[in-house]
Chains A and B, each alone.
Chain A
Protein backbone atom coordinates (compact mmCIF):
# COMPACT_ATOMS: atom_id res chain seq x y z
CA UNK A 1 0.00 0.00 0.00
CA UNK A 2 1.33 3.41 -0.89
CA UNK A 3 1.67 6.21 1.59
CA UNK A 4 -0.39 9.20 0.45
CA UNK A 5 0.25 11.61 3.31
CA UNK A 6 3.42 11.98 5.32
CA UNK A 7 3.58 14.63 8.03
CA UNK A 8 6.88 15.10 9.86
CA UNK A 9 7.28 17.28 12.95
CA UNK A 10 4.63 19.75 11.85
CA UNK A 11 4.46 22.95 13.86
CA UNK A 12 2.05 25.87 13.52
CA UNK A 13 2.10 29.02 15.62
CA UNK A 14 -0.28 31.97 15.55
CA UNK A 15 1.71 34.73 17.20
CA UNK A 16 2.46 33.45 20.69
CA UNK A 17 -0.06 30.65 20.50
CA UNK A 18 1.28 27.26 19.44
CA UNK A 19 -1.65 25.48 17.81
CA UNK A 20 0.47 22.56 16.61
CA UNK A 21 3.57 21.68 18.65
CA UNK A 22 4.93 18.58 16.96
CA UNK A 23 2.80 16.29 14.88
CA UNK A 24 3.96 13.38 12.73
CA UNK A 25 1.86 10.69 11.12
CA UNK A 26 1.30 9.00 7.80
CA UNK A 27 -1.81 7.92 5.95
CA UNK A 28 -1.93 4.92 3.62
CA UNK A 29 -3.84 4.79 0.40
CA UNK A 30 -7.48 3.81 0.70
CA UNK A 31 -7.88 4.20 4.43
CA UNK A 32 -10.21 6.36 6.42
CA UNK A 33 -7.83 8.10 8.78
CA UNK A 34 -9.26 9.87 11.80
CA UNK A 35 -7.87 12.87 13.63
CA UNK A 36 -9.56 13.02 16.98
CA UNK A 37 -9.21 15.50 19.79
CA UNK A 38 -10.85 18.19 21.89
CA UNK A 39 -11.59 21.66 20.56
CA UNK A 40 -8.44 23.70 20.17
CA UNK A 41 -6.19 20.64 20.08
CA UNK A 42 -4.79 21.63 16.69
CA UNK A 43 -6.80 19.28 14.46
CA UNK A 44 -8.04 21.87 12.00
CA UNK A 45 -4.70 23.68 11.86
CA UNK A 46 -3.04 20.36 11.04
CA UNK A 47 -5.35 19.40 8.19
CA UNK A 48 -5.40 22.93 6.80
CA UNK A 49 -1.60 22.92 6.67
CA UNK A 50 -1.73 19.58 4.88
CA UNK A 51 -4.12 21.06 2.34
CA UNK A 52 -1.84 24.03 1.77
CA UNK A 53 -4.42 26.45 3.17
CA UNK A 54 -2.13 27.56 5.98
CA UNK A 55 1.59 28.03 6.04
CA UNK A 56 3.17 25.74 8.67
CA UNK A 57 5.73 27.27 11.04
CA UNK A 58 7.90 24.18 10.67
CA UNK A 59 8.04 20.56 9.64
CA UNK A 60 7.50 18.66 6.46
CA UNK A 61 4.35 17.61 4.66
CA UNK A 62 4.23 15.41 1.59
CA UNK A 63 0.91 14.58 -0.01
CA UNK A 64 0.63 12.26 -3.01
CA UNK A 65 4.38 12.46 -3.39
CA UNK A 66 4.64 16.23 -3.64
CA UNK A 67 5.58 18.93 -1.17
CA UNK A 68 2.28 20.22 0.23
CA UNK A 69 3.62 23.71 0.81
CA UNK A 70 5.74 24.35 -2.25
CA UNK A 71 3.44 22.63 -4.74
CA UNK A 72 0.15 23.50 -3.11
CA UNK A 73 -1.48 24.88 -6.24
CA UNK A 74 -0.79 21.66 -8.12
CA UNK A 75 -1.82 19.59 -5.11
CA UNK A 76 -5.17 21.31 -4.57
CA UNK A 77 -6.41 19.97 -7.85
CA UNK A 78 -5.81 16.43 -6.64
CA UNK A 79 -7.47 16.76 -3.24
CA UNK A 80 -11.01 17.50 -2.13
CA UNK A 81 -11.87 19.63 0.90
CA UNK A 82 -14.78 20.10 3.16
CA UNK A 83 -13.69 22.88 5.47
CA UNK A 84 -14.80 23.86 8.90
CA UNK A 85 -16.12 27.42 9.17
CA UNK A 86 -16.57 27.97 5.51
CA UNK A 87 -19.59 28.81 3.46
CA UNK A 88 -20.89 29.60 0.03
CA UNK A 89 -22.65 32.81 -0.94
CA UNK A 90 -26.19 32.65 0.49
CA UNK A 91 -27.84 33.29 -2.83
CA UNK A 92 -25.90 30.83 -4.96
CA UNK A 93 -28.03 27.92 -6.13
CA UNK A 94 -27.00 24.30 -5.71
CA UNK A 95 -26.49 23.72 -9.42
CA UNK A 96 -24.61 27.00 -9.85
CA UNK A 97 -22.13 26.06 -7.12
CA UNK A 98 -21.53 22.62 -8.62
CA UNK A 99 -21.25 24.05 -12.11
CA UNK A 100 -18.79 26.72 -10.94
CA UNK A 101 -16.57 24.37 -8.96
CA UNK A 102 -16.61 21.84 -11.79
CA UNK A 103 -15.29 24.43 -14.23
CA UNK A 104 -11.95 24.49 -12.38
CA UNK A 105 -11.10 21.17 -13.94
CA UNK A 106 -13.00 20.59 -17.15
CA UNK A 107 -11.75 17.00 -17.31
CA UNK A 108 -13.54 16.12 -14.08
CA UNK A 109 -16.67 13.98 -13.89
CA UNK A 110 -20.09 15.36 -14.77
CA UNK A 111 -21.35 17.36 -11.80
CA UNK A 112 -24.92 16.36 -12.60
CA UNK A 113 -24.02 12.77 -11.72
CA UNK A 114 -22.63 13.92 -8.37
CA UNK A 115 -25.72 16.06 -7.75
CA UNK A 116 -27.86 12.99 -8.31
CA UNK A 117 -25.62 10.68 -6.31
CA UNK A 118 -25.67 12.96 -3.27
CA UNK A 119 -29.42 13.46 -3.36
CA UNK A 120 -29.32 17.11 -4.36
CA UNK A 121 -31.23 16.99 -7.63
CA UNK A 122 -34.50 17.93 -5.87
CA UNK A 123 -32.72 20.97 -4.47
CA UNK A 124 -30.86 21.99 -7.62
CA UNK A 125 -32.45 25.46 -7.73
CA UNK A 126 -32.46 26.07 -3.98
CA UNK A 127 -30.16 28.79 -2.68
CA UNK A 128 -27.35 27.76 -0.33
CA UNK A 129 -28.88 29.98 2.37
CA UNK A 130 -32.11 27.99 2.29
CA UNK A 131 -30.54 24.54 2.61
CA UNK A 132 -30.76 22.57 5.86
CA UNK A 133 -27.59 21.62 7.71
CA UNK A 134 -27.61 18.12 6.26
CA UNK A 135 -28.21 19.37 2.72
CA UNK A 136 -25.35 21.85 3.05
CA UNK A 137 -23.01 19.10 4.17
CA UNK A 138 -24.06 16.93 1.25
CA UNK A 139 -23.40 19.84 -1.09
CA UNK A 140 -19.97 20.42 0.48
CA UNK A 141 -19.09 16.76 0.02
CA UNK A 142 -20.30 16.84 -3.57
CA UNK A 143 -18.18 19.97 -4.17
CA UNK A 144 -15.19 18.25 -2.58
CA UNK A 145 -15.58 15.36 -5.01
CA UNK A 146 -16.18 17.39 -8.14
CA UNK A 147 -12.51 17.18 -9.24
CA UNK A 148 -12.26 13.41 -8.63
CA UNK A 149 -9.82 13.85 -5.75
CA UNK A 150 -7.36 11.19 -4.65
CA UNK A 151 -7.54 12.36 -1.03
CA UNK A 152 -10.60 13.91 0.61
CA UNK A 153 -10.42 15.97 3.81
CA UNK A 154 -13.56 16.14 5.90
CA UNK A 155 -13.38 18.52 8.85
CA UNK A 156 -16.19 18.07 11.38
CA UNK A 157 -18.51 16.96 8.64
CA UNK A 158 -21.26 15.82 10.96
CA UNK A 159 -21.15 18.68 13.46
CA UNK A 160 -24.60 20.07 14.11
CA UNK A 161 -26.39 17.25 12.30
CA UNK A 162 -29.19 15.30 13.91
CA UNK A 163 -28.60 11.56 14.52
CA UNK A 164 -30.42 10.48 11.35
CA UNK A 165 -28.46 12.90 9.16
CA UNK A 166 -25.23 11.72 10.79
CA UNK A 167 -26.02 8.13 9.87
CA UNK A 168 -26.55 9.24 6.29
CA UNK A 169 -23.26 11.15 6.35
CA UNK A 170 -21.42 8.06 7.62
CA UNK A 171 -22.77 6.09 4.70
CA UNK A 172 -21.55 8.81 2.35
CA UNK A 173 -18.06 8.74 3.85
CA UNK A 174 -17.85 4.98 3.32
CA UNK A 175 -18.97 5.50 -0.27
CA UNK A 176 -16.14 7.97 -0.86
CA UNK A 177 -13.65 5.36 0.28
CA UNK A 178 -15.26 2.68 -1.83
CA UNK A 179 -14.82 4.93 -4.85
CA UNK A 180 -11.06 4.59 -4.26
CA UNK A 181 -10.20 7.82 -2.47
CA UNK A 182 -8.33 8.12 0.81
CA UNK A 183 -10.29 9.97 3.48
CA UNK A 184 -8.91 12.11 6.30
CA UNK A 185 -11.66 12.63 8.84
CA UNK A 186 -11.42 15.26 11.57
CA UNK A 187 -13.91 14.70 14.33
CA UNK A 188 -14.52 14.95 18.02
CA UNK A 189 -17.21 12.30 18.01
CA UNK A 190 -15.90 9.03 19.41
CA UNK A 191 -18.65 6.85 17.96
CA UNK A 192 -17.94 8.32 14.54
CA UNK A 193 -14.24 7.54 14.78
CA UNK A 194 -14.92 4.03 16.07
CA UNK A 195 -17.45 3.31 13.34
CA UNK A 196 -15.55 4.73 10.38
CA UNK A 197 -11.82 4.96 10.90
CA UNK A 198 -9.32 2.28 9.95
CA UNK A 199 -6.72 4.14 11.95
CA UNK A 200 -6.71 7.35 13.90
CA UNK A 201 -4.54 9.73 15.86
CA UNK A 202 -5.69 11.34 19.08
CA UNK A 203 -4.40 14.90 19.25
CA UNK A 204 -4.17 17.07 22.34
CA UNK A 205 -2.33 20.34 22.95
CA UNK A 206 -0.85 20.22 19.48
CA UNK A 207 0.70 16.77 19.91
CA UNK A 208 -0.34 13.27 19.02
CA UNK A 209 -0.98 11.29 22.19
CA UNK A 210 -1.91 8.00 20.51
CA UNK A 211 -2.11 6.44 17.06
CA UNK A 212 -3.59 3.16 15.92
CA UNK A 213 -6.76 1.38 14.90
CA UNK A 214 -9.67 2.06 17.27
CA UNK A 215 -9.43 -1.53 18.54
CA UNK A 216 -5.67 -1.30 19.00
CA UNK A 217 -5.99 1.95 20.94
CA UNK A 218 -8.52 0.35 23.24
CA UNK A 219 -6.30 -2.63 23.88
CA UNK A 220 -3.15 -0.54 24.34
CA UNK A 221 -4.79 1.94 26.63
CA UNK A 222 -6.25 -0.75 28.80
CA UNK A 223 -3.76 -0.36 31.63
CA UNK A 224 -6.59 -1.22 33.96
CA UNK A 225 -8.46 -4.16 32.56
CA UNK A 226 -10.95 -5.87 34.80
CA UNK A 227 -11.76 -9.57 34.59
CA UNK A 228 -14.98 -10.50 36.36
CA UNK A 229 -16.23 -13.94 37.32
CA UNK A 230 -18.05 -15.75 40.09
CA UNK A 231 -16.83 -18.87 41.78
CA UNK A 232 -17.38 -20.79 45.02
CA UNK A 233 -13.75 -21.88 45.11
CA UNK A 234 -12.50 -20.79 48.55
CA UNK A 235 -9.18 -19.31 47.46
CA UNK A 236 -8.23 -17.48 44.30
CA UNK A 237 -5.49 -15.19 45.69
CA UNK A 238 -2.92 -17.27 43.79
CA UNK A 239 -4.12 -15.43 40.67
CA UNK A 240 -1.88 -12.63 41.92
CA UNK A 241 1.15 -14.70 40.87
CA UNK A 242 0.28 -14.12 37.22
CA UNK A 243 2.64 -11.50 35.77
CA UNK A 244 0.06 -9.13 34.31
CA UNK A 245 -2.30 -9.20 37.30
CA UNK A 246 -2.13 -6.19 39.60
CA UNK A 247 -4.83 -7.02 42.13
CA UNK A 248 -7.44 -9.59 43.04
CA UNK A 249 -10.56 -8.54 44.92
CA UNK A 250 -13.20 -10.78 46.26
CA UNK A 251 -16.71 -9.91 47.36
CA UNK A 252 -18.61 -13.03 48.30
CA UNK A 253 -18.70 -15.21 45.20
CA UNK A 254 -17.74 -12.39 42.92
CA UNK A 255 -14.10 -11.91 41.96
CA UNK A 256 -12.57 -8.92 40.18
CA UNK A 257 -9.07 -9.36 38.81
CA UNK A 258 -7.31 -6.20 37.64
CA UNK A 259 -4.44 -6.35 35.24
CA UNK A 260 -3.03 -5.38 31.87
CA UNK A 261 -2.64 -6.78 28.38
CA UNK A 262 -3.63 -10.42 27.91
CA UNK A 263 -4.96 -10.69 31.47
CA UNK A 264 -8.16 -12.39 30.40
CA UNK A 265 -6.44 -15.22 28.58
CA UNK A 266 -3.93 -15.83 31.37
CA UNK A 267 -6.53 -15.75 34.10
CA UNK A 268 -8.77 -18.10 32.12
CA UNK A 269 -6.03 -20.61 31.52
CA UNK A 270 -4.88 -20.46 35.15
CA UNK A 271 -8.44 -21.05 36.36
CA UNK A 272 -8.98 -23.97 34.02
CA UNK A 273 -5.61 -25.37 35.06
CA UNK A 274 -6.90 -25.54 38.63
CA UNK A 275 -10.19 -27.02 37.62
CA UNK A 276 -12.18 -23.83 38.16
CA UNK A 277 -14.41 -23.24 35.17
CA UNK A 278 -16.61 -20.19 35.74
CA UNK A 279 -19.43 -19.78 33.23
CA UNK A 280 -19.51 -16.00 33.46
CA UNK A 281 -15.86 -15.09 32.91
CA UNK A 282 -15.71 -11.78 31.06
CA UNK A 283 -13.49 -8.78 30.61
CA UNK A 284 -14.86 -5.31 30.91
CA UNK A 285 -13.17 -3.38 28.11
CA UNK A 286 -12.89 0.37 28.03
CA UNK A 287 -14.64 2.13 25.15
CA UNK A 288 -12.78 4.40 22.76
CA UNK A 289 -14.43 7.22 24.65
CA UNK A 290 -12.78 6.17 27.91
CA UNK A 291 -9.45 5.81 26.15
CA UNK A 292 -9.89 9.27 24.72
CA UNK A 293 -10.72 10.79 28.09
CA UNK A 294 -7.78 9.09 29.71
CA UNK A 295 -5.44 10.55 27.10
CA UNK A 296 -6.70 14.10 26.69
CA UNK A 297 -7.38 17.01 28.96
CA UNK A 298 -11.04 16.54 28.23
CA UNK A 299 -10.68 13.98 31.01
CA UNK A 300 -10.39 16.86 33.50
CA UNK A 301 -6.70 16.47 34.19
CA UNK A 302 -6.77 12.73 34.84
CA UNK A 303 -4.35 12.28 32.01
CA UNK A 304 -2.96 8.77 32.10
CA UNK A 305 0.67 8.06 31.34
CA UNK A 306 0.87 8.13 27.60
CA UNK A 307 2.89 4.98 27.19
CA UNK A 308 1.48 4.50 23.72
CA UNK A 309 2.02 6.09 20.34
Chain B
Protein backbone atom coordinates (compact mmCIF):
# COMPACT_ATOMS: atom_id res chain seq x y z
CA UNK B 1 0.00 0.00 0.00
CA UNK B 2 1.37 3.50 -0.78
CA UNK B 3 2.28 5.71 2.15
CA UNK B 4 -0.73 8.00 2.45
CA UNK B 5 -3.46 5.32 2.43
CA UNK B 6 -1.39 3.23 4.84
CA UNK B 7 -0.88 6.22 7.11
CA UNK B 8 -4.61 7.00 7.05
CA UNK B 9 -5.49 3.38 7.74
CA UNK B 10 -3.04 3.27 10.65
CA UNK B 11 -4.41 6.52 12.06
CA UNK B 12 -7.94 5.16 11.75
CA UNK B 13 -6.97 2.15 13.85
CA UNK B 14 -5.22 4.39 16.37
CA UNK B 15 -8.33 6.58 16.64
CA UNK B 16 -10.47 3.54 17.31
CA UNK B 17 -8.09 2.57 20.16
CA UNK B 18 -8.40 6.01 21.79
CA UNK B 19 -11.30 5.67 24.27
CA UNK B 20 -11.59 9.40 24.99
CA UNK B 21 -11.86 10.34 21.32
CA UNK B 22 -14.32 7.55 20.57
CA UNK B 23 -16.59 8.40 23.52
CA UNK B 24 -16.51 12.09 22.78
CA UNK B 25 -17.22 11.63 19.09
CA UNK B 26 -19.89 8.95 19.25
CA UNK B 27 -21.35 8.50 22.73
CA UNK B 28 -21.59 12.11 23.85
CA UNK B 29 -23.69 13.42 20.92
CA UNK B 30 -25.78 10.25 20.92
CA UNK B 31 -26.66 10.41 24.63
CA UNK B 32 -27.38 14.14 24.63
CA UNK B 33 -29.49 13.82 21.46
CA UNK B 34 -31.58 11.04 22.95
CA UNK B 35 -32.08 12.93 26.23
CA UNK B 36 -32.88 16.34 24.77
CA UNK B 37 -35.18 14.97 22.05
CA UNK B 38 -37.12 13.19 24.78
CA UNK B 39 -37.45 16.42 26.78
CA UNK B 40 -39.88 17.99 24.31
CA UNK B 41 -43.08 16.91 22.63
CA UNK B 42 -44.64 17.52 19.22
CA UNK B 43 -46.67 20.42 20.76
CA UNK B 44 -43.38 22.34 21.10
CA UNK B 45 -42.94 22.38 17.33
CA UNK B 46 -43.45 26.16 17.05
CA UNK B 47 -40.28 26.73 19.13
CA UNK B 48 -38.41 24.47 16.71
CA UNK B 49 -38.83 26.21 13.37
CA UNK B 50 -42.19 24.46 13.00
CA UNK B 51 -40.77 20.94 12.88
CA UNK B 52 -40.77 18.11 15.42
CA UNK B 53 -38.11 18.72 18.14
CA UNK B 54 -36.35 15.42 17.25
CA UNK B 55 -36.12 16.42 13.59
CA UNK B 56 -34.71 19.77 14.60
CA UNK B 57 -32.20 18.19 17.00
CA UNK B 58 -31.15 15.35 14.76
CA UNK B 59 -29.98 17.89 12.18
CA UNK B 60 -28.30 19.97 14.93
CA UNK B 61 -26.48 17.00 16.38
CA UNK B 62 -24.94 16.05 13.07
CA UNK B 63 -23.33 19.50 13.41
CA UNK B 64 -22.35 18.67 17.01
CA UNK B 65 -20.49 15.54 15.86
CA UNK B 66 -18.51 17.71 13.44
CA UNK B 67 -17.82 20.17 16.26
CA UNK B 68 -16.70 17.44 18.66
CA UNK B 69 -14.26 15.92 16.18
CA UNK B 70 -12.92 19.30 15.11
CA UNK B 71 -12.50 21.01 18.47
CA UNK B 72 -11.62 18.03 20.71
CA UNK B 73 -10.71 14.70 19.13
CA UNK B 74 -8.50 15.92 16.28
CA UNK B 75 -6.63 18.76 18.03
CA UNK B 76 -5.87 16.71 21.18
CA UNK B 77 -4.50 13.88 19.03
CA UNK B 78 -2.41 16.10 16.74
CA UNK B 79 -1.14 18.30 19.60
CA UNK B 80 0.05 15.16 21.40
CA UNK B 81 1.93 14.20 18.21
CA UNK B 82 3.65 17.58 18.15
CA UNK B 83 4.34 17.57 21.89
CA UNK B 84 5.83 14.08 22.08
CA UNK B 85 8.06 14.38 19.04
CA UNK B 86 5.97 11.99 16.97
CA UNK B 87 5.76 14.45 14.07
CA UNK B 88 9.55 14.83 14.21
CA UNK B 89 10.00 11.07 14.35
CA UNK B 90 7.79 10.70 11.26
CA UNK B 91 9.45 13.57 9.42
CA UNK B 92 12.92 12.16 10.00
CA UNK B 93 11.78 9.01 8.22
CA UNK B 94 10.39 10.85 5.20
CA UNK B 95 6.79 10.90 6.41
CA UNK B 96 6.06 14.61 5.99
CA UNK B 97 4.01 16.48 8.57
CA UNK B 98 1.43 17.57 6.01
CA UNK B 99 0.68 13.93 5.19
CA UNK B 100 0.19 13.12 8.90
CA UNK B 101 -2.17 16.09 9.26
CA UNK B 102 -3.91 15.14 6.01
CA UNK B 103 -4.48 11.62 7.30
CA UNK B 104 -5.95 13.09 10.50
CA UNK B 105 -8.37 15.19 8.48
CA UNK B 106 -9.49 12.15 6.48
CA UNK B 107 -9.91 10.13 9.70
CA UNK B 108 -11.80 13.02 11.34
CA UNK B 109 -14.11 13.24 8.35
CA UNK B 110 -14.82 9.50 8.41
CA UNK B 111 -15.52 9.69 12.16
CA UNK B 112 -17.97 12.54 11.61
CA UNK B 113 -19.71 10.50 8.89
CA UNK B 114 -19.94 7.41 11.10
CA UNK B 115 -21.06 9.49 14.09
CA UNK B 116 -23.80 11.09 11.98
CA UNK B 117 -25.02 7.73 10.67
CA UNK B 118 -25.19 6.44 14.26
CA UNK B 119 -27.29 9.49 15.21
CA UNK B 120 -29.62 9.03 12.27
CA UNK B 121 -30.16 5.36 13.11
CA UNK B 122 -30.84 6.22 16.76
CA UNK B 123 -33.14 9.15 15.88
CA UNK B 124 -35.02 6.99 13.42
CA UNK B 125 -35.42 4.06 15.81
CA UNK B 126 -36.21 5.99 18.99
CA UNK B 127 -38.17 9.01 17.75
CA UNK B 128 -39.03 8.18 14.17
CA UNK B 129 -37.13 11.34 13.26
CA UNK B 130 -37.08 12.52 9.64
CA UNK B 131 -34.08 11.95 7.42
CA UNK B 132 -32.93 14.92 5.26
CA UNK B 133 -35.56 16.42 2.97
CA UNK B 134 -32.85 17.68 0.61
CA UNK B 135 -30.02 15.12 0.95
CA UNK B 136 -27.71 16.77 -1.57
CA UNK B 137 -27.92 20.12 0.23
CA UNK B 138 -27.18 18.39 3.54
CA UNK B 139 -24.21 16.60 2.00
CA UNK B 140 -22.74 19.87 0.69
CA UNK B 141 -23.23 21.54 4.08
CA UNK B 142 -21.75 18.52 5.85
CA UNK B 143 -18.60 18.50 3.73
CA UNK B 144 -18.06 22.26 4.05
CA UNK B 145 -18.85 22.24 7.77
CA UNK B 146 -16.52 19.32 8.41
CA UNK B 147 -13.75 20.96 6.37
CA UNK B 148 -13.99 24.14 8.42
CA UNK B 149 -13.99 22.42 11.82
CA UNK B 150 -11.25 19.95 10.95
CA UNK B 151 -9.10 22.87 9.78
CA UNK B 152 -9.95 24.71 12.99
CA UNK B 153 -8.83 21.58 14.85
CA UNK B 154 -5.46 21.63 13.07
CA UNK B 155 -5.13 25.30 14.01
CA UNK B 156 -5.80 24.54 17.71
CA UNK B 157 -3.21 21.75 17.58
CA UNK B 158 -0.55 23.88 15.88
CA UNK B 159 -1.12 26.80 18.29
CA UNK B 160 -0.98 24.70 21.46
CA UNK B 161 1.39 21.84 20.45
CA UNK B 162 0.49 20.30 23.79
CA UNK B 163 -2.26 17.76 24.40
CA UNK B 164 -3.50 19.20 27.70
CA UNK B 165 -3.56 22.75 26.38
CA UNK B 166 -5.35 21.58 23.24
CA UNK B 167 -7.93 19.80 25.36
CA UNK B 168 -8.49 22.90 27.51
CA UNK B 169 -8.85 25.18 24.49
CA UNK B 170 -11.03 22.64 22.71
CA UNK B 171 -13.40 22.21 25.67
CA UNK B 172 -13.61 25.96 26.13
CA UNK B 173 -14.61 26.37 22.50
CA UNK B 174 -16.81 23.31 22.28
CA UNK B 175 -19.17 23.62 25.24
CA UNK B 176 -20.44 27.18 24.72
CA UNK B 177 -20.91 26.37 21.04
CA UNK B 178 -22.61 23.10 21.90
CA UNK B 179 -25.10 24.85 24.20
CA UNK B 180 -25.76 27.95 22.08
CA UNK B 181 -25.53 26.81 18.48
CA UNK B 182 -28.77 24.87 18.27
CA UNK B 183 -28.01 21.71 20.19
CA UNK B 184 -29.09 23.19 23.52
CA UNK B 185 -32.23 25.25 24.07
CA UNK B 186 -34.14 26.11 20.88
CA UNK B 187 -33.19 29.59 19.52
CA UNK B 188 -36.69 30.96 20.05
CA UNK B 189 -36.47 30.58 23.84
CA UNK B 190 -32.97 32.13 24.11
CA UNK B 191 -32.56 35.67 25.47
CA UNK B 192 -31.44 38.36 23.02
CA UNK B 193 -27.96 38.29 24.50
CA UNK B 194 -27.66 34.52 24.10
CA UNK B 195 -29.09 34.82 20.62
CA UNK B 196 -26.51 37.37 19.53
CA UNK B 197 -23.65 35.23 20.87
CA UNK B 198 -25.13 32.24 19.07
CA UNK B 199 -25.22 34.23 15.82
CA UNK B 200 -21.42 34.53 15.67
CA UNK B 201 -20.42 31.01 16.73
CA UNK B 202 -18.89 28.90 13.94
CA UNK B 203 -20.84 25.83 15.06
CA UNK B 204 -24.07 27.81 14.58
CA UNK B 205 -23.12 28.21 10.91
CA UNK B 206 -22.61 24.46 10.60
CA UNK B 207 -25.88 23.65 12.35
CA UNK B 208 -27.87 26.12 10.24
CA UNK B 209 -26.21 25.05 7.02
CA UNK B 210 -27.13 21.42 7.74
CA UNK B 211 -30.54 22.06 9.30
CA UNK B 212 -32.00 24.20 6.50
CA UNK B 213 -31.80 21.58 3.75
CA UNK B 214 -32.55 18.84 6.31
CA UNK B 215 -35.98 20.30 7.06
CA UNK B 216 -36.52 21.38 3.45
CA UNK B 217 -35.74 25.09 3.72
CA UNK B 218 -33.03 25.14 1.04
CA UNK B 219 -29.37 26.11 1.30
CA UNK B 220 -28.13 28.66 3.84
CA UNK B 221 -25.59 30.36 1.56
CA UNK B 222 -24.44 32.92 4.14
CA UNK B 223 -23.40 30.21 6.59
CA UNK B 224 -21.68 28.22 3.85
CA UNK B 225 -19.68 31.25 2.71
CA UNK B 226 -18.65 31.99 6.29
CA UNK B 227 -17.56 28.37 6.78
CA UNK B 228 -15.46 28.44 3.63
CA UNK B 229 -13.88 31.67 4.89
CA UNK B 230 -13.08 29.99 8.24
CA UNK B 231 -11.52 27.05 6.40
CA UNK B 232 -9.29 29.29 4.31
CA UNK B 233 -8.15 31.55 7.16
CA UNK B 234 -7.65 28.75 9.73
CA UNK B 235 -5.93 26.59 7.13
CA UNK B 236 -3.53 29.37 6.14
CA UNK B 237 -2.56 30.12 9.75
CA UNK B 238 -2.27 26.43 10.65
CA UNK B 239 -0.09 25.80 7.60
CA UNK B 240 2.14 28.74 8.48
CA UNK B 241 2.47 27.55 12.10
CA UNK B 242 3.21 24.03 10.90
CA UNK B 243 6.10 25.26 8.75
CA UNK B 244 7.40 27.53 11.47
CA UNK B 245 7.27 24.69 14.00
CA UNK B 246 9.53 22.53 11.82
Is this pair of chains taken from one and the same complex? yes
A146 to B93, CA, bound (A): 9
From A86, A89, A91, A99, give the contact of B6 (CB < 8 A): A99
B88 and A86 within 8 A (CB) = yes
Contact residues, B1-54 vs A (CB, 8 A): 1-3, 6-7, 10, 13-14, 17-18
Known: A88-B86, A96-B10, A103-B6. A81 touches B92 (CB 8 A): yes
Q: Which of A76, A81, A89, A99 has the most CB of B within 10 A?
A: A89
A73 to B96, CA, bound (A): 9
A158 to B122, CA, bound (A): 53
A104 to B1, CA, bound (A): 10
B93 and A81 within 8 A (CB) = yes
Q: Mark B87-116, 1 if CB is under 8 A from A, else 0.
A: 011011111000000000000000000000
Cβ-closest chain B residue relative to A102: B6
A residues near B13, Cβ cutoff 8 Å: 96
A41 to B78, CA, bound (A): 31
A residues near B94, Cβ cutoff 8 Å: 73, 76-77, 104-105, 147
B residues near A172, Cβ cutoff 8 Å: none
B3 and A104 within 8 A (CB) = yes
A92 to B10, CA, bound (A): 8
Cβ-closest chain B residue relative to A128: B86
A105 to B84, CA, bound (A): 25
B7 and A86 within 8 A (CB) = no
A51 and B85 within 8 A (CB) = no
B residues near A99, Cβ cutoff 8 Å: 6
B93 and A147 within 8 A (CB) = yes
A residues near B6, Cβ cutoff 8 Å: 99-100, 103
A residues near B17, Cβ cutoff 8 Å: 91
The 3 closest A-B pairs by CB, nearest first: A86-B85, A86-B89, A81-B92
- Provide 21 A-B residue pairs closer than 8 Å at the C-beta atoms, listed in order of the A residue: A51-B92, A76-B92, A76-B93, A76-B94, A81-B93, A83-B85, A83-B92, A86-B86, A86-B88, A87-B85, A91-B18, A92-B10, A96-B10, A99-B6, A100-B6, A100-B10, A100-B95, A101-B95, A103-B2, A106-B2, A146-B93
For the A-B complex with A87-B84, A143-B93 known, give 18 more contacts whose Cβ atoms are closer than 8 Å. A53-B92, A76-B93, A76-B94, A81-B92, A81-B93, A83-B88, A86-B88, A86-B92, A87-B86, A89-B14, A92-B10, A101-B95, A103-B6, A104-B3, A104-B94, A104-B95, A106-B2, A147-B94
B positions within 8 Å CB-CB of A? 1-3, 6-7, 10, 13-14, 17-18, 81, 84-86, 88-89, 91-95
A positions within 8 Å CB-CB of B? 51, 53, 73, 76-77, 80-81, 83, 85-89, 91-92, 96, 99-101, 103-106, 143-144, 146-147
